[in-house]
Structure 1
């Protein structure tokens, strides 16, 4: 008999509650959960296709191991034995940084993806960490770290209470939101306008969101920072700066006034292609609104001035008194946040603590640019070779015979960054990356120059991929460890709740039993930690170390619990200060190690029961008793307690930002060609409601229609270049060229072309039958990986120059 089960959707950042219909062991239908405390019944096409994505026949059901150059089915024991036999000897011979880790953005959508990568990094001791963050959101992490002292303190617009929303480079009607977790983002924007509020969208495309807005500003791509700097200049020049409750909590206001003095509306108007009068109106509207928020996303982040743009977003929120204010830009407080610290100076945020070996890129938040991954693999050291072979070759740590995706919300990082591997010179040693662990990542499609990365992955001594598919990246692995589908896994949003527009907590256990032969994702990652770790040091509270390969995977969770409790009982601000950690561990509930860890985090969190200190507080059992979730209330002011800067205040003009401002001035000239004419065509990305990077292209219900890999070209540009609707064009840029179908439309402004991200499913050796039937073109193949935002290491995926030419029928064959 069919039954229903509740599940939060893991397919984008909106985290909508679903009611699933389950027959036998499969999900046959999905609809919105009208009783969900956060989404209230909203659902999008991705959520409605949960069952089809869950039961995709191309999903791997057991591990694969490379033998004689071919990936073949193997047992779980064989797979983990192969990992252990290869990785630890490589670490012992070449050092921990010779093992790279790549994390894709699906990690933030699973319980295991949030809990285990930090332990993996600690077990390896590697600084060679690459995540989807440097393809998406790292500029916001860096600007938040510099402003507030915490790279994870990201303010979100208080959508349900604001009177004015200025949105740059975001299209939430198609993306469902990004770095702003808000089920039914479209409905919330419509509600904003219905209550008399104002929505302004700054975007070179007339997106679905722009069509909804009161005002659409079709800016020239990549110039958002100039626009925002000019708006800040107007606030100062016209006496509109009003810090309000922030007065006394901010340093550097006068320095910002000096820094933006020359960026008048008249000075930036030509570069932005926005009239000076419009820029002044935008500034006055922002200042005059009862409450307001400025919000920028991918289009404003993945550009050459990405960190400066993200910084200026919050500069405007501060100067108008709208930061940390109801109706403004506020800081969520998730149920698992570690928020029990007093206000006062903190350790601050540092950049460039080490650099990449090949090109000297500085780290940011413990991560290196994923655009640099290929160079870290294929740039050799004199006299040292590399090779590729079957599993078992190279087990002595030497070269064997024969000579990862980013893209998305909260990116793929676990939030902690790499650990100190013991180097004193701030570098990564001399060895290239010889082994790679890729978890839910497909950088061959999502990172620049996939052709080079393709070749680099082929040269690795060893690679392990944790992925449900044999995709463009995992096809290179020596071992593939496939996690089960979402219906067979629990769900809690550790990362996305920290970006939610309303505080709440929801937890679902697996809705169907784990299929025979599969392994839970938590166990996969725990066993992987054991397979690559040297055991690690014992905990300060006396617990044993992790143990070696083959140990009980429950030891990984036990050690994590022990270490957390050891710190908590030593913290005078914690509700369990001075108590016995072993007695507290015995009181944890849950059916598994991950559940016990979630129970611990909830109990020690800001709403927790404190192990009895607050009988009404949160715990795992209380969440289980509320299957539609628990509403924890609207966002509330959190300053100054949230700040971790060295001054204990918002530092409005941090040193690295001040040092980068000359690039902003140079952008005024670089936006135009030497003859004064607009500087050619530039390319921007595009999101579709039925897509999320490369994830969804193997689900039949989510491909086709508007979700197509076509090049949007304005009619004026098409006519000038001889391009026709439905014809083919060659697109060329610094990294290479691709051929794509043309779609002539005035949804893009003249001088701008648009191509979606995540396509290019035409490489051999994959098992993606639906995606391969309509492969599309990989837009990132146009990039050579050298275009980066220097502060964050984020690849410039938007606003780069291209040339177009029509292709004849003969050339398209």
Structure 2
């Protein structure tokens, strides 16, 4: 059979690049970018070009696994596995109530709406509100801050017409996230700079993105909110704000001015390790531009005062009028997802945090980003009414990604039932009672919905052009395997438990299983462009007719953007009090011998969170998770590239392999999150080795009071040499 080329959608990350597959005898042999695509222009990353390795991995879960009487996971026919799960789940609900069942959806579960909608429908059917996701363990400050500040109905000024872009704690050229649209970001940034865009980056590391910046504030980590407050003070002191927009569309201006008074550039620069004039220059450059946008990333969200940082970033945008006005074109109101209301106005406020189902620890509750995932281990371990006794983990790896790993392990082992839906047996699914291997990737239909839908999560994240794509299933699962779509697991459990499923009032047919395409039709029933029309264009299509002028707000519209939300002004007061004082987290290094440094998060080219660590083509380039140190610090510790080190906090001690990096600021150690324990046999079949940052983090110390997210970046650690050079 001759090789065949088909259009497809990569699902390694949220960018969902348009690609072309080469199929030979029904098997993917090559993935390249689609050069004719008007949005991606042929872009793919190393992860996407090797995505098909997931399908053919020798350690893929092709048959359900169940824990036997000997404590080991053993293959089991699919029907028997589903019968066993349904029976145990029914018994748990009967004895302990619906709240005893929880679900966690990880990164790998979010790229097919059919899975998201069906697991929510299942939880609705059993009556459990305990739904958690990776959103509250990464950047929950984004939607929470947006709810506190208010969402602008016409959306932010687009990157393609911006004169300035401020990127805070993000590296979009690697992470596909933050500031530069994640759809071929290098090309977009290059073209923007050619037409005159000025890039400002606030980051402790001279990242790939920072190297392109006109101004890089290479600060000490954990000071992003203070730097933004100082920039706002400069803008207000020098009357650089858009007074007309502020007067017409905002409230709380005076409270904001009072709250930032303590944040002089001199006071903040002394703490952040900057020159005061650099802060002033950043403020003037951002405010002096005609159009622009500021966005934050994982690093600044995981650091102390993450929600406040996101709020101040929105305030900065609003003070400078960085929103689409009435009559200006909204480049993409939405094709599959309605990204904006299309009206140039502050939308009606929505709850930010502290609503819905309360968490039984730390005074937390539901948030605009979802339930606080970091509190889930305590919900499992805390006895009493409402204790979680059964957990579904879908496309995630809590053991590698959640903080306070020892507590996570204790919690997972204590469950009456742990079910993992996972393509491979990893650190979490190794502890499960049942492991179900899913169909995924090119084995199931896909749409570009997630590329637009992500705009709901944070500012300036959605697809900038009115473009959409549909991809049918292109390959079959391996022969004789028993893998099913993740949504089908919950559908089949519902049938066995005599439950009825529905999605926004639309009932599932519980007598005849729907297809994934059926569920996509249901999910996208109200899409601005019908899915059938998008199917007519296998390589995707732009729909320029969707771009429309923003409508003016109603004359009696009562809502305004909030510049001085009381909760955020209280946070600013606490931050002002902390200026010049060591973080409370610094106590975590007391009593340990070694060189104290500040641990920051980062992204790697070769992996996406914990996904991809076990793929040979990705592993060849970097077979471990390096501990990046500035040569000055490495010299003081007495290590070089390849040498063994230890990182220690009060929460734990982990091994690592040093790598000298000039781009890391002195006083900082940079390590990626999401890796398993190097010494616990959890790296998979020859997969990446540690360092397991999760073991260094304490979920009950220094957490964000709105989202519950623990401090996971700018964490004080001791780094010391650990014996002879590593292999």
TM-score by length of 1: 0.80
Measured after TM superposition, the shift of residue 366 of structure 1 is 7.0
- Listed as ranges, the matches of 1:266-281 within 5 Å are 266-281=266-281
Distance 1:694 1:155 in 2: 32
Q: Summarize deviations over 1:283-315 as a string: whole Å, max 9, x none.
A: 111111121111111111111110000111111
Match of 1:58 in 2: 59
Root-mean-square deviation (Å): 3.1
The corresponding residue for 1:396 is none
CA distance in 1, matches of 2:509, 2:376: 29
Alignment of 1:522-561 (within 5 A): 523-528=487-492, 530=494, 535=499, 551-554=511-514
Number of the residue aligned with 1:373: 376
**1:344–1:167 distance in 2 versus 1, CA, 3 Å:** closer
2:119 and 2:487 in contact (8 A); partners too: no
- Assess, with a 3 A threshold, how the Cα gap between structure 1 residues 59 and 211 changes in structure 2: closer, same or farther: same
Q: What is the CA-CA distance between 1:235 and the residue it aligns to? A: 1.0
Where do 1:420-431 residues align within 5 Å? Answer: 430-431=385-386
Aligned twin of 1:778 = 692
Correspondence for 1:397: none
Using the TM superposition, name which of 479-488 and 707-716 deviates more. Answer: 707-716
Change (3 A) 1:485 1:538: closer
1:762 offset after TM fit, Å? Answer: 4.4
Mapped to 2, the partners of 1:619 and 1:112 lie a distance apart of 17
Equivalenced residues, count? 700
Please give the alpha-carbon distance, in whole angstroms, between the structure 1 residues aligned to 2:680 and 2:513. 35
1:797 to 687, 695, 712: 712
Q: CA-to-partner distance for each residue in 1:480-513, whole Å, 9 max, x for gaps?
A: 1211241211111333213222232111011113
SS at match of 1:437: strand
Shift of 1:706: 5.0
Q: Distance in 2 between matches of 1:731 and 1:286?
A: 38
Q: How far does residue 331 in structure 1 lie from its aligned partner after superposition?
A: 8.3
Cα 1:154–1:785 shift into 2, 3 Å? farther
Closer, same or farther: CA 155–80 of 1 in aligned 2, 3 Å: farther
Q: C-alpha distance in 2, partners of 1:777/1:154?
A: 43
In the TM superposition, residue 206 of structure 1 has moved relative to its aligned partner by: 1.0
Aligned to 2:123: 121
SS at structure 1 position matched to 2:30: strand
Please give the alpha-carbon distance, in whole angstroms, between the structure 1 residues aligned to 2:564 and 2:418: 42
Equivalent-residue separation in structure 2 for 1:455 and 1:672 (angstroms): 29
How far the C-alpha of 1:699 sits from its partner, in A, is 0.7
Partner of 1:630: 541
Give the drift of 1:514: 4.5
Looking at structure 1, the residues matched to 157 and 558 of structure 2 have their Cα atoms a distance apart, in angstroms, of 25
Q: Are residue 94 (structure 1) and residue 96 (structure 2) matched?
A: yes
Whether 2:35 is the aligned partner of 1:34: answer yes
- Conserved? CA contact 2:8–2:18, under 8 Å: yes
Deviates more, 1:515-524 or 1:10-19: 515-524
Q: How far has the Cα of 1:347 moved from its partner?
A: 5.9
Give the aligned partner of residue 311 of structure 1: 311
SS in 2 for 1:284: helix
Cα distance in 1, alignment partners of residues 547 and 715 from structure 2: 37
Measured after TM superposition, the shift of residue 461 of structure 1 is: 0.6
Render the CA deviation track for 1:376-430: whole Å, top value 9, x for unaligned. Answer: 222334xxxxxxxxxxxxxxxxxxxxxxxxxxxxxxxxxxxxxxxxxxxxxxxx2
What pairs up with 1:328-727 in 2 under 5 angstroms?
Answer: 333-337=334-338, 346=348, 348-353=350-355, 354-365=357-368, 367-381=370-384, 430-498=385-453, 499-515=462-478, 516-521=480-485, 523-528=487-492, 530=494, 535=499, 551-554=511-514, 592=515, 594-600=516-522, 602=524, 604-605=526-527, 607=528, 618-633=529-544, 647-671=558-582, 680-705=596-621, 708-727=624-643
Cα shift readout 1:240-284 (whole Å, capped 9, x = no counterpart)? 110555652222223222221221212211111121111111111
Instruction: Answer whether contact 2:179 2:293 (CA < 8 A) is retained.
Output: no
Shift of 1:344: 8.4
2:214 equivalent in structure 1: 214
Find 2:146's aligned residue among 144, 151, 163. 144
Distance 1:157 1:690 in 2: 32
Does residue 809 of the first structure (1) align with residue 720 of the second (2)?
no
| Separation of aligned partners in 2, 1:659 and 1:202 | 24
C-alpha distance after superposition, 1:669-689 (max 9, x if no partner) = 334799xxxx95210012111
What runs of 5+ residues in structure 1 fail to find an aligned partner?
382-429, 555-591, 608-617
Query: Offset at 1:229?
Result: 0.6
Residue 203 of structure 2 corresponds to 203
Counterpart contact for 2:122–2:501, Cα < 8 Å: no
- Displacement of 1:540: 10
Asked if the contact 1:157/1:328 (under 8 Å) is kept, the reply is no
SS in 2 for 1:604: coil
1-side partners of 2:66 and 2:211: how far apart? 50
CA distance in 1, matches of 2:708, 2:548: 32
Deviation at 1:340, TM superposition (A): 6.7
Change (3 A) 1:338 1:732: closer
Secondary structure of residue in 1 paired with 2:159: coil
Say if 1:128 and 1:367, in contact at 8 Å, map to a contact too.
no
User: Aligned partners of 2:156 and 2:693: how far apart in 1?
Assistant: 29
- Cα drift, residue 327 of structure 1: 11
Distance 1:24 1:309, change over 3 A: same
In the TM superposition, what whole-angstrom CA distance separates every residue of 1:591-633 from its partner, at most 9, and x where no partner exists? x3x434433554523x3xxxxxxxxxx2222111111212134
Partner of 2:224 in structure 1? 224
For 2:57 and 2:78, the matched residues in 1 are separated by 22
1:71 paired to 2:73: yes
- Cα distance in structure 2, aligned partners of 1:245 and 1:635: 24
Q: Report whether the alignment pairs 1:737 with 2:692.
A: no
Deviation at 1:32, TM superposition (A): 0.6
CA distance in 1: counterparts of 2:34 and 2:182, whole angstroms: 15
Q: Secondary structure at the match of 2:125?
A: helix
| Cα deviation code 1:214-239 (max 9, x no counterpart) | 22210110100001111111111101
Residues 193 and 523 (structure 1), Cα distance of their counterparts in 2 relative to 1, 3 Å cut = closer
Residue 269 of structure 1 aligns to a residue whose secondary structure is helix
* Alpha-carbon distance in 2 for matches of 1:539, 1:518: 27
CA distance in 1 between partners of 2:518 and 2:492 (Å): 20
1:253 aligns with 2:175: no
Hey, what's the Cα distance between the residues in 2 that align with 1:510 and 1:775?
34
C-alpha distance in 1 between matches for 2:66 and 2:482: 16
Which residue of structure 2 lines up, in the alignment, with residue 161 of structure 1?
161
**C-alpha distance after superposition, 1:317-364 (max 9, x if no partner):** 111111236999998635233867987874621421243224433331
Distance 1:533 1:155 in 2: 44
SS in 2 for 1:322: coil
CA–CA separation in structure 2 for the residues paired with 1:233 and 1:103: 40
